Chains A and B, each alone.
Chain A
Amino acid sequence: MTLGRTLWAIVLIKLFIMFAILKVFFFPNFLNSKFEKEEDRANYVKSELIDRSTATATITDSISY
């Protein structure tokens, strides 16, 4: 096998593993797989950012609307 063919084979096998196996089975887009709407994704991330804060314990829920 010539050098060129070997390299092409490596490139193609690598791309196949990356896109057809790793991306599909192991790396789904986390937010897109959970939510269909952009608004839902935003709400989820907002909740995550609030809930993970050290401030959460001290945040008062006294504000009511």
Chain B
Amino acid sequence: MELLSTSLVDWSRGQFALTAMYHWLFVPLTLGLGVIQAIMETIYVKTGKEEWKKAAKFWMTIFGINFAIGVATGIILEFQFGTNWSNYSFFVGDIFGAPLAIEGILAFFMEATFISIMFFGWNKVSKGVHLAATWLTITGATLSALWILVANAWMQLPLGMEFNPTTVRNEMVDFWSIISSPVAINKFFHAVASGWVEASVIVLGISSWYLIKKRKEEFAKKSILVAASFGLFAVLFIIFTGHGSAQQVAAHQPMKLAVMEGLYEGREGAPLVAMGVINPKKETYNDDVDPVVMAIEFPKMLSWLSFSDVNAYVPGIRNIVEGGYTKPDGKIADSFETKKQMGQTAITALKNYKIAEAAKDTAAMAVHKTTLDANYKYFGYGYLDKPEDTIPNVPLVFYSFHIMVILGVLFLLNFALALFLGWKNKLSDYKWILWVFLWTIPLGYLAGQLGWIVAEVGRQPWTIQDILPVQAAVSSLQTSSVLITFVLFAVLFTVLLIAEISIMLKQIRKGPESN
């Protein structure tokens, strides 16, 4: 076995995480603010009231700042695929490339075309054409997100492909199954709705600041009305899609679900932990130490959330490692040892195929290909050594998941309260509530980041679920070179973030009339 530096894998992962997390600071605000400004402009076109035009133009300016600074930050992720994750990039072939290419075409043509009409077309095109351009801009941005999320979903549930041992590529055989993957559909709606929520939190917070300062009060109240209504809808929608996501995770990534809940021992009628503390004394998956202390639970809710059945069996970490339980499809779950053996058999078959290929022995190639195909679903387990290698960081995923859910509840209450007080025209009477809305802004960003930590850390060690772990996917680079680019990115993105915040604050202080 070739020895690969653990620090190389960790720094490569860290660099990708850093870039993705910074990128996700910009994306959700674009997705959500785009809809909010489009709603305001629609009201303007319907009513002809100038104050709605002013409101739409102000939020469009904030959208523009965020868009300009965030645009192309995701391309750096693609740089990393070619440099740091070359084995992965080669191995996934056109499956990953096709959605990214479509995303590129949409992003650079659809968005770029309509965004210029949206920003520079006021008073140059008719109201209707401008409104259409605004909606098409955000539609283009959302469709861009769709393709990225389709690619991501394939990594969580690889399907629609066939591995070719000659080209060493997973070749696409069913494009439709890839784009209609239930994981992709849920992920798309869940991630986009999280952007809607985040933008609503930000609009609510900034508008509350105007009310606290007794400036632009009519504008602020109108903005709060739209943000709270849209935010409330988005939170309810996110609960719905969250349920769908949980069912997909339960079906295809049971380890992630068990880690999210700190569930080590499977059970029927499993409860959902509302709040809890992970026991730091828990060291291994089978040491019989109670994994969670001080937990507040909803009885049977995890079973219902996962399988729409309050009495369904949910496997724990230990059960997933040891196998032997009956899965929802009626099959018996394989143990880690079985999967590892199958993975090693698949890789051995690949090696033998390579030898047969060099000898031009087509009969032997066919035999080894058959063995490879029969064991391919656990190909990645051939790179793992022990059961612990399949268990993600439990405290990180557990706390990320639960804090995200708690923040979701906070946002729900905030939006409902803002709507109620706005309806009664009493928002300015409760300054402390306005302060809460204002200070919830960073929590909106935090919730989005936590969601991605759950999604991505929760599926470690896999780049492609069950097929390719990180240690097989990473390029053989010098750790020092990855470290240098990590620092470069940290500096570049931090400068961009500081620029974004300072320009936005300046524009917010000026207020809606200035643009």
Contact = CB atoms under 8 A, between A and B. Distances in A.
B168 A46 contact: yes
Given A14-B496, A30-B86, A49-B347, A56 B91 contact: no
B168 A54 contact: no
Contacts of B476: 48
A26 B485 contact: yes
A7 B65 contact: yes
Contacts of B68: 7-8, 10-11
A5 B16 CA distance: 31
A21 B73 CA distance: 14
Contact of A41 (B90, B352, B355, B384): B90
Contact of A29 (B86, B165, B345, B359): B86
B80 A50 contact: no
Contact of A42 (B76, B168, B488): B168
Nearest to B69: A10
A63 interface: yes
B350 A46 contact: yes
B348 interface: yes
Interface string B469-481: 0011001110001
A35 to B, nearest CB: 11
**At the interface, is chain B mostly helix, strand, loop or mixed?**
helix
Nearest to B500: A10
Nearest to B4: A52
A3 B347 CA distance: 57
Interface residues of B, number: 62
A65 B355 contact: yes
A50 B354 contact: yes
Contact of A30 (B69, B477, B488, B499): B477
Contacts of B382: 53-55
A54 B488 CA distance: 34
Interface of B: 1-2, 4, 61, 64-65, 68-69, 71-72, 75-76, 79-80, 82-84, 86-87, 89-91, 165-169, 340, 343-345, 347-348, 350-352, 354-356, 358-359, 361, 364, 382-385, 471-472, 475-477, 481, 484-485, 488, 492, 496, 499, 503, 507, 515
A59 B83 contact: no
B90 A45 contact: yes
A65 B361 contact: yes
Nearest to B86: A30
- 3 closest residue pairs by CB, A with B: A65-B359, A55-B344, A30-B86
Contacts of B65: 3, 7
Contacts of A58: 344, 348
A11 B499 CA distance: 11
A13 B358 CA distance: 50
Interface residues of A, number: 38
B30 to A, nearest CB: 14
Interface string A1-32: 00100111011001101100011001111111
Given A30-B477, A55-B343, A11 B1 contact: no
A11 B71 contact: yes
B72 A27 contact: no
A65 B359 CA distance: 6
A41 to B, nearest CB: 6
Nearest to B91: A45
A10 to B, nearest CB: 6
Nearest to B481: A26
A18 B354 CA distance: 39
Given A26-B488, A30-B83, A31-B90, A10 B499 contact: yes
A27 B83 contact: yes
A59 B371 CA distance: 14
A50 B72 contact: no
Contacts of B361: 65
Contact of A53 (B1, B75, B90, B496): B1
Given A42-B167, A54-B384, A63-B355, A28 B83 contact: yes
Query: Most chain-B Cβ atoms within 10 A of its Cβ — which of A15, A26, A53?
Result: A53
Nearest to B496: A14
A7 B64 contact: yes
A52 B488 CA distance: 29
A51 B72 contact: no
A54 B499 CA distance: 47
A50 B472 CA distance: 9
B347 A23 contact: no
A61 to B, nearest CB: 8
Given A22-B79, A54-B385, A56-B2, A49 B507 contact: no
Given A15-B72, A45-B91, A53 B344 contact: yes
Given A3-B61, A29-B86, A49 B485 contact: no
